Amino acid sequence: MSTLAPPVVKGTRSANSGGRSGSLGWLVLPALLFFVTFGVVPLFGVLFLSFTQWDGIGDIHPDGLNAWRSVLGDPQLLHSLGVTFLIMILSWLVQTPASLLLGTFLAGHQRYRGFLAVLYFIPLLLSSAAIAITWKALLDPNFGLGAGLGLSFLQQDWLGKDTLAVGVVVFIVSWQFIPFHSLIYQGGVRQIPRSIYEAAEIDGAGRLRQFFSITLPQLKYTIITSSTLMVVGSLTFFDLIFVLTAGGPGDATRVLALDMYKRGFMANLMGPASAIAVILVLVGLGIALLLRRLGGTDQTDSMLEGA
Interacting residues with another protein (CB under 8 A): 55, 57-59, 102, 104-105, 107-108, 110, 112, 116, 119-120, 122-123, 126, 133-145, 148, 157-160, 162, 165, 175, 189, 207, 210-211, 215, 245-246, 248-252, 262-263, 266-269
What angle separates helix 128-139 from helix 162-191, to the nearest 10 degrees? Answer: 130
Smallest separation (angstroms) from another protein to the CB of 204: 17
Residue 229: CB minimum distance to another protein, A: 21
- Whether residue 249 is preceded by a cis peptide bond, meaning omega within 30 degrees of 0, is yes
User: What one-character DSSP code corresponds to residue 156?
Assistant: S
Cα(261)–Cα(247) distance, rounded to whole angstroms? Answer: 11
Closest distance between another protein and the C-beta of residue 159, in Å?
3
**Nearer residue to another protein within complex by CB, 94 or 102:** 102
Closer by beta carbon to another protein, 135 or else 231: 135
Residue number, 130 or 282, with CB nearest to another protein: 130
Nearer Cβ to another protein (141/233): 141
Q: Are 231 and 92 in contact (CB under 8 A)?
A: yes
H/E element holding 89?
Answer: helix 75-106
Give 189: exposed, middle or buried? Use CB within 10 Å, 0-12, 13-18, 19+: buried
CB 73 to another protein: min, Å: 11
64 dihedral zone (left: phi>0; alpha: psi -120 to 50; beta): left
Q: How far is the CB of 143 from another protein (least distance, A)?
A: 6
Q: CB nearer to another protein: give 205 or 281.
A: 205
